[in-house]
Amino acid sequence: MNERQNEILQLLKKHAMMKIHELSEQLNVSPATIRRDLTELSKAGVERVGGAAFLTKPSLPGDRTTDIPSDNQVGCIVSVSISSKHMYPYFSPILEGIEKGLAKFGYSLAFMHNLDDIQNEAILQKMVHDYKHIRGMIVVEGIKPEVYELIKKHFPYIVGIDISDSSVPVIAYDRVAAASSAVRHLLDQGHKKIGFIGGAGLTGEMEREKRYRGYKLALQEAGLDLNPNWVINAEWDVNKSYSGMLDMFKRNQDLPTAMFSASDMMAMPAMRAATEIGLRIPEDMAFIGLDNIELSQYTSPPLSSIHIPKAEIGMVAAKTLIDYLQGAYPLPFKMLMPYQVIARQSSTFQR
């Protein structure tokens, strides 16, 4: 037991019904880290009592039921690093949806690992060994092919969330179409000079990133040229989004009148950079993000976005895995969840 796990136990003893997000805030770590610690602490007597709440119970002598994963437990891997705290507002509702969807049918997560874990060979091999009785796994977004193949070899029932494997059930949303709809919203406001903020995927190539492709497609359909000087590869880092915007302002006299950000968290520091140099939002420069995280409605001005049903994606993935384990899907499929333009003050100014 490490120091943080000991702190978790002490907090749970004082406040028996603490929830994951409360532990996360108290210890200043991600919800995913708390979930992993709680999984490892199961032998110490931490049990779920409903929703995201946990409490401690006395360990019984000789009780080794937590050592053997039961038939109603599954695993989860989420492709986000502990250091990528800016990604939590997007992934947390998905993970909570997974847990809620599993609990509804009497299932639970035996473990949850993040990107840092699965890049550690020792942790990866320990997962395969310790949970060899677990048959089902939910993989949230893409991971390295060699790691994914190892997971598929040891966990025969895989359901993916936004992964590219056509041999398993996948729950996703159309990222190209969602991004295009964001750009079309800006076009409808009269904008013709539209920039992009985002990052590349696992390949490291921006041209293969679906939201960037959606941005390009919408411009092409409108008969507009893409200006590479207005494209910021922030590598999904909020600090680089902020510095990238400032750099764009310094390098260009001809500025875009609107920016499409491939995630809300990338849009927020970019908006700050714009206001710091004296631009008015949306009169001088409009912004729209993608994913509609909860914080978006509280920016100044409130950030327009594309709503992605994150919790519902998690719940559908959980139900799909349960059905898959019970033999309901002889053939793989891909389910695309709906998205919706949420127009707020950051973009609703007709030019």
Neighbours of 250 (CB within 10 A): 8
What beta strand segments (E) does the chain contain?
Answer: 46-50, 53-56, 73-78, 108-113, 136-140, 157-161, 170-173, 194-198, 231-233, 258-261, 286-288, 305-307, 334-337, 340-342
pLDDT, average across residues 61-77: 60
pLDDT surpassing 60 at residue 86: no
pLDDT surpassing 80 at residue 43: no
pLDDT class for 17, splitting at 50, 70, 90? low
pLDDT in tens, 202-246: 677 899 999 999 999 999 999 999 999 999 999 999 999 999 999
pLDDT at 28: 84
Query: How much of the chain exceeds pLDDT 90, in percent?
Result: 61
pLDDT in tens, 258-301: 999 999 999 999 999 999 999 999 999 999 999 999 999 999 99
The angle, 0 to 180 degrees and rounded to 10, between the axes of the packed helices 20-27 and 31-40 is 110
Top pLDDT among 18 and 108 is at 108
pLDDT surpassing 70 at residue 24: yes
Domain residue spans of the chain = 7-58+69-173, 175-308
Determine contact, residues 279/246, Cβ cutoff 8 Å: no
pLDDT surpassing 80 at residue 335: yes
pLDDT, average across residues 170-184: 98
pLDDT class for 321, splitting at 50, 70, 90? very high
pLDDT class for 18, splitting at 50, 70, 90? low
Residue-by-residue DSSP string for 73-96: EEEEEE---TT-GGGHHHHHHHHH
**The pTM is what?**
0.79
The answer to whether the 7-58+69-173 and 175-308 domains have the same CATH topology is yes
pLDDT in tens, 116-156: 888 888 888 888 888 888 999 999 998 888 889 989 999 99
pLDDT surpassing 90 at residue 315: yes
Best CATH choice for the domain 175-308 from the list 2.40.280.10, 3.40.605.10, 3.40.50.2300, 3.90.730.10? 3.40.50.2300
pLDDT class for 67, splitting at 50, 70, 90? very low
Top pLDDT among 26 and 47 is at 26
pLDDT class for 256, splitting at 50, 70, 90? very high
With respect to CATH, is domain 7-58+69-173 assigned 3.40.50.2300? Answer: yes
**Could you tell me which residues come within 8 angstroms of residue 278 by beta carbon, excluding any fewer than 6 positions away?**
none
Distance CA 186, CA 288 (A): 8
pLDDT at 226: 97
Query: How much of the chain exceeds pLDDT 70, in percent?
Result: 87
